[in-house]
Chain A
Amino acid sequence: MIGTDRVEVRKTHKLFIGGAFPRSESGRTYEVVNTRGEFLANIAKASKKDARDAVISARTGFNSWSKASAYNRGQVLYRIAEVMEGRKDQFINDIQDAEGTSNKKATAQTDQAIDRVVWYAGWADKYSQVLGNTNPVSGPFFNFSIPEPTGVVAAVAPQDSSLLGLISVMAPILVSGNSVIVIASTNSPIPAITLSECLATSDVVAGNINILTGDPAEIMPHLATHADVNALDLTGITDPVLLAQLEVEAAGTVKRVRKAPINPNWQVTPSLSRIRAFTEIKTVWHPMGMH
C-alpha cells in the first residue's frame, strides 16, 4: 500500500513576461478551482507594475519581431504549433479541469487550437498580399499601400474557451508583427500557462508574447492609459461598465480598440478582420519618370 502512490510535484503557476516566468511583483496569488469547486492551483495575480514591465518587454520584443521577415514569423508560429502538439495531453487535461468538459470535447478544442495556430502561421507571408495593394492614382506616380503592425497590443482573452478562444485572440495579433500582452481567462487560466511554457521553448523572441494572469478589471485600466500601448483587444471583457471605462481611457492616447464580440463562435474559421484590426495601412507615393 505504501510506496506505490507517488507524491506529485505540483506546479507553481507564474506570469510569463519577457520570456521568463516571474511571480507577480506584488507577491499576490488567487485560487483557481475546477467546475466542481475543487482547488486546482494558486495563480499569480498580476499587478499594475507587472503590466508596466510587460509593456517594456513587449516594446523590446516588438522592435525585433516586427523586423523579422514574414517567412520567419510564419516559421515561429509553426514551431509554436509543433511544441503544442507535443503537449497535447497536458492541454486536454488542463481544459477538462478548467472547463469541466468531456475528454472528447477537450480533445477537439485542443486539436482546433493547434490547427488554428497552423492556419495563422500560413497567413504570415500572405495577409499583406490580401490587405495591401497598389493604387491606380491619376498622375505619374507609383503608389502602394502596405499593412504594418501597430505595435504593442493589450488583449483580454475570452473568459470561456480557455485555449481555442485564447489562441484565436493572440495569433492574429502576432501574425503581422505585433507583440502582445494577454490577460488570460480569470477563472480558466491554466491552459494559458501551459501555452506560455510552449512559447518559452519555441523560437519566440523574448517579450514578443507576454501572458498575465489576474483580474482584468484591475490591470486593464493601466494598460488602457499606458502611452506605449498602441491597441486594445477587449474580447474577454464581459462587464459593460468596465468595457466603457476602458474605451474612455483608450481615447487619451487615441488607441485602436477592438470591441468585445457578441456570442463568438470560435470553432468557425475566422475572417481576416482580426489581423486587419491590428495593422496600420501605410501608403507610399513616388514619381515615375525615366528622364
Chain B
Amino acid sequence: MHAFIAALGFGIVTAAILAIASVGFTLQFGATNIFNLAFGSTMTASAFVAYVATEANLGLWGAVVFGALFGTVFSVLLNRAVYLPFVKRGARLFEMIIVAIAVTLLISNIIQAVWGASFFTLKLAPTPALNFGALAFTRDELGIIGVAVAAMLCVHALLHHTRLGQAMRATATNPALARNCGIPTTRVIDVVWAVSGLLCGLGGVALVLVTTSFNPQTGTEFIIPILAVAVLGGIGQPYGAMLGAVVIGLMTQLSALVISPEYKQAVAFVTLVVVLLLRPQGILSEVAEQKEVVA
C-alpha cells in the first residue's frame, strides 16, 4: 500500500510536469501544424539556463524566471529563424519534421559540447517534505503542482476570455479564414510560440527540479511522453492534453508497481503507438480528417 501511495504521489507530480509541457506543445502544434520535436531539447536548454542561474546564486526564483524567459524567447526565435522560412518556401510536412530533428540534434549537442555529458544538479537548498495523510510532497513538488494548476487556469482564461485567445483559436481552426477576417495571423502565431515557449521553459525547470540530476539528454527524451499526451488528448486540444497528462503521468508511475521499473518509459511509448494506430484523433477530438491525421 505504501508503494502504491508513493507511486501515486510521483504520478501526480509527473502529471503536473507533463501537463505544463504538453499544453504548451499542443497549443503550438494545433495552431501551426508543425511538429516541433525540438520542444524537448528546448526544455533541456531552459533547464541549463536555470542551472546557470542557480550557480550564480539567484535561487529558485532566478532559476524559474530565467528558465521560463529563455524558453519563451528561444521558441519565438526558433520559429522565426528556422521553421517559418521553410514553411514560407513551401516545405512539405515531411521536410519540416526532418528540420525539427536537425534542430533537436543541434540543441542537445551544443548543450553537451558546452557542459559535457555528465549529470548536473540545481544548486538549491533541499526542502522539507510535507505530508497529506499518507502522501508526501516536497515544497518544490507542491510548487510544481501549483504552477501546473495555475498554468492550466491561465491558458483557459487566455483562450476563452481574451480577444487574443479567440484569435488563437480561430487561427488554429482555419488560418486562411482567420486571415480573411482581419486577424493578424503572423503576430498571433508569434504569441502562440511565446506561450508555448513559456510553458516549455517552465516545464523544463520543473522537470529538473523533480529529477534532481539531469544531463543534456533529459529533456530531449521527454518529447515522447509529451507527444503521447498530446496525441492521446487530441492534437491541438489543450483540455485533452491536461486530461492526457493525468492519465499518462499516473499510469507511468503506477506501472512501476506491476512491471519492471526500467520499462516505465515504455508506457508512454506504447500509448503513443497504440493511440496513433487505433484512434489517431485522440480521446477528445472528434474530427480526425480536419486535422489531417489520417492521410
A and B held together in a complex: no
Binding site for B on A (CB under 8 A): none
